Amino acid sequence: MLGSRPVLSSSGSVTPSFAFDEEIAACDLCGGRDFAILSSAANVRACVRCGYRFVSPRPSQAQIAASYSDPSFYSGWIDDDAGRQRMWSGRLDLLHRVGAGARVIDVGAGIGTFLAMGRDRYGWHGIVMVSI
């Protein structure tokens, strides 16, 4: 179990810690209840029925929402932008190899930088969905 853990970024800022205490009983995608363990160290599971991968246990939605509502939540994220730009540039190169007409979904898009880079480089169109 991962437990509650703060995350230290390369800029030295600490992002909120989460208690990983929400056990997943059914797949969020297909409702399946049989899971394979892909990484016990990181608590990564895969649904046997559909292959969807997820973390279980995971932080509760209330914990995640509270973190996103914290005004300083993105401070470290913005400070670390150059490293992410390099990482995402490599991922864009990989996706470009798939070919024209491919569709991409970016779940948990943060502040939308990856999608913006795709728009600037390849003319992607997309939306960021937020429920309030």
- Give the model confidence (pLDDT) of 31-82 as tens digits: 999 999 999 988 999 999 999 999 999 888 888 888 777 777 767 767 777 8
From 94, 99, 104, select the one nearest 124 (Cα to Cα). 104
Residue 109 has pLDDT above 80, yes or no: no
The strand pairing partners of 44, in sequence order, are: 39, 55
| Res. 25 pLDDT band, cuts 50 70 90 | very high
What is the total count of domains within the chain? Answer: 1
Whether residue 70 lies inside any domain: the answer is no
| 10 vs 120: CA distance, rounded Å | 27
Whether residue 24 lies inside any domain: the answer is no
Whether residue 25 lies inside any domain: the answer is no
Whether residue 105 lies inside any domain: the answer is yes
| Res. 128 pLDDT band, cuts 50 70 90 | low
Whether residue 41 lies inside any domain: the answer is no
Residue whose pair of structure tokens reads 């150059």 in the numeric block? 82
Give the global pTM. Answer: 0.47
